[in-house]
């Protein structure tokens, strides 16, 4: 997580606004008016400017130390923190600020000088003009620099967003961490910034891709997977869902928490949990059948593929019954049996390692046959997850 940014208080002479307004607005989606109602509101605002522009004191905020440019020409207030920035630069990358700039130009033509104009904007922000008069301690305030309070946006998300805009090559060589990418995605969506949104989506899709897992993949905290499922649905990234759901399926901590407190994972629906239970049952059944199947098994039992050949190296056990018993006892007594029950797809890697201890008792052809069958099973199981998790209906 990024280190919390230090802030300083804004110049005195301003009046505090209700802090709860910003807190309640954060994280809530604005309810939009029907199209006809929005048009009528705009018409009334144009016809009666006094209805939308009410003389009030400026919004109080703490000044950002990182993003406060002396020659900036717009002040944006997010969760009580003020950012003095360049209006044209923001408008060049974000449709939200391009529309805001256009709206500001219209209001500037109709506003009265010397007033601090404030009201709730259509895009969920509050706007004002900083007075050009000196403050109570004699220091000049910002001469008529427009100030906008942006709601439904977290200050930490906005800081990370501005950092990405200021240093566009920052994430070219080293992608952002997951928490940063999620912050960038939320901010890019709120501010309608396609460039930053693409960076965030690419990072998350690389971390939670839809490809068959290869090698040993460390288990991540189940809370990360739950967050990713929520993000994938909110921002329409279905490619991330399979990997995230499978991460929950193979997490012992998730199943333990679920058994203790269902409400701790309330972002998952009952249908999600039923799908996870069913998928785990199906894959565990497939796992047991795969592990217990000896090489070249058929209706008449298992046979050694090297017996008919002149090669001297043959399996130690050639009788069908003996082969089946020896094979099963080897894996049932190994750690891979339990490991694969928790993570069947990841357990394939453990099977390959366990097979190294069978070289003295089984021929190369028989072992290779099993290795190929295991790899094919991993691909097949991964493909089954689309239906088991009901991903096509799950969005």
25-55 per-position pLDDT tens digit? 333 333 333 344 434 333 333 333 332 222 2
67 in Cβ contact with 159 (< 8 Å) = yes
Integer Cα distance of 240 and 185 in angstroms: 14
> If 0-12 CB within 10 Å is exposed, 13-18 middle and 19+ buried, where does residue 113 land?
exposed
Q: What percent of the chain has pLDDT over 70?
A: 73
Contacts 24+ apart (CB under 8 A), 133-139: 135/11, 135/12, 135/13, 136/12, 136/13, 137/12, 137/13, 139/11
CA-wise closest residue to 85 among 98, 70, 96, 95 = 70
Beta bridge partners of 63: 8, 82
Please provide the size of the chain in residues: 395
Integer Cα distance of 288 and 59 in angstroms: 65
Average pLDDT over residues 355-361: 85
Integer Cα distance of 346 and 216 in angstroms: 7
- pLDDT per residue over 132-145, tens digit each? 344 454 444 545 78
Element (H, E) at 258: helix 252-260
Asked whether the predicted pLDDT for residue 16 surpasses 80, the reply is no
pLDDT reported for residue 41: 32
Please state which of the ranges 34-38, 136-140, 289-293, 294-298 shows the lowest mean pLDDT. Answer: 34-38
| Mean model confidence pLDDT for the chain | 78
CA-wise closest residue to 177 among 191, 194, 160 = 160
241 in Cβ contact with 229 (< 8 Å) = yes
Integer Cα distance of 190 and 344 in angstroms: 40
Q: What percent of the chain has pLDDT over 90?
A: 50
| Tokens representing residue 365 in the block | 């052809």
Average pLDDT over residues 173-187: 93
The pairing of strands 54-55 and 74-78 is unpaired
pLDDT reported for residue 347: 93
Integer Cα distance of 288 and 120 in angstroms: 61
- Strands (DSSP E) along 151-307, which ranges? 297-298, 301-302
178 in Cβ contact with 207 (< 8 Å) = yes
pLDDT reported for residue 393: 60
Asked whether the predicted pLDDT for residue 126 surpasses 60, the reply is no
Please state which of the ranges 34-38, 113-117, 152-156 shows the lowest mean pLDDT. Answer: 113-117
Highest-pLDDT range among 19-28, 32-41, 92-101, 153-162: 153-162
pLDDT reported for residue 50: 31
Integer Cα distance of 92 and 21 in angstroms: 30
Asked whether the predicted pLDDT for residue 220 surpasses 80, the reply is yes
Average pLDDT over residues 269-298: 94
Integer Cα distance of 202 and 195 in angstroms: 11
Owner of token pair 């709206």: 103
Quickly count: other Cβ atoms within 10 Å of residue 127's Cβ.
Answer: 22
| Tokens representing residue 300 in the block | 């008449």
CA-wise closest residue to 364 among 298, 305, 296 = 305
391 in Cβ contact with 234 (< 8 Å) = no
Integer Cα distance of 53 and 119 in angstroms: 6
Highest-pLDDT range among 136-145, 181-190, 345-354: 181-190
Integer Cα distance of 160 and 155 in angstroms: 9
Quickly count: other Cβ atoms within 10 Å of residue 174's Cβ.
Answer: 7
Asked whether the predicted pLDDT for residue 107 surpasses 90, the reply is no
pLDDT reported for residue 308: 63
Owner of token pair 């923001």: 90
Beta bridge partners of 125: 150
Q: Look up residue 5 and give its DSSP letter.
A: P
pLDDT reported for residue 174: 87
Half-sphere exposure (Cβ direction) of 232: Cα atoms closer than 13 Å: 27
Average pLDDT over residues 94-111: 73
pLDDT reported for residue 375: 94
Longest pairwise C-alpha distance within the chain:
102
- Strands (DSSP E) along 260-326, which ranges? 297-298, 301-302
Integer Cα distance of 121 and 355 in angstroms: 67
């Amino acid at each position: 997580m990024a280190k919390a940014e230090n802030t300083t208080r804004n110049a005195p002479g301003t009046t505090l606004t209700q802090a709860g307004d910003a807190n309640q607005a954060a994280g809530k989606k604005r309810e939009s008016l029907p199209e006809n109602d929005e048009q009528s509101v705009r018409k009334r605002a144009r016809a009666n400017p006094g209805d939308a522009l009410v003389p009030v004191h400026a919004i109080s905020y703490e000044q950002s130390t990182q993003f406060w440019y002396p020659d900036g020409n717009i002040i944006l207030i997010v969760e009580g923190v003020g950012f003095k920035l360049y209006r044209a630069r923001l408008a060049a990358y974000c449709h939200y600020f391009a529309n805001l700039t256009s709206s500001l130009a219209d209001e500037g033509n109709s506003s009265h000088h010397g007033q601090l104009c404030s009201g709730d904007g259509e895009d969920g922000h509050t706007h004002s003009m900083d007075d050009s008069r000196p403050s109570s301690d004699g220091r000049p305030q910002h001469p008529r620099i427009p100030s906008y309070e942006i709601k439904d946006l977290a200050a930490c998300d906005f800081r990370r967003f501005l950092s990405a805009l200021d240093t566009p090559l920052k994430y070219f060589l080293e992608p952002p961490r997951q928490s940063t990418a999620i912050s960038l995605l939320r901010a890019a969506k709120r501010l309608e910034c396609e460039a930053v949104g693409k960076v965030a989506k690419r990072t998350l899709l690389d971390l939670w891709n839809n490809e068959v897992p290869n090698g040993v993949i460390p288990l991540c905290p189940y809370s990360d997977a739950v967050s990713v499922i929520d993000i994938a649905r909110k921002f329409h990234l279905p490619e991330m869902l399979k990997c995230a759901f499978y991460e929950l399926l193979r997490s012992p901590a998730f199943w333990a928490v679920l058994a203790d407190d269902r409400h701790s994972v309330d972002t998952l629906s009952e249908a999600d949990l039923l799908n996870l239970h069913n998928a785990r049952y199906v894959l565990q059944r497939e796992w047991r059948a795969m592990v217990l199947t000896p090489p070249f098994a058929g209706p008449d039992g298992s046979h050694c593929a090297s017996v008919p050949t002149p090669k001297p190296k043959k399996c130690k056990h050639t009788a069908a019954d003996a082969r089946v018993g020896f094979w099963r006892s080897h894996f049932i007594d190994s750690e891979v049996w339990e490991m694969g029950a928790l993570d069947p797809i990841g357990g394939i890697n453990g099977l390959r390692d366990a097979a190294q201890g069978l070289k003295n008792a089984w021929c190369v052809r028989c072992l290779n046959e099993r290795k190929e069958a295991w790899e094919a099973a991993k691909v097949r199981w991964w493909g089954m997850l689309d239906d088991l998790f009901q991903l096509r209906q799950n969005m």
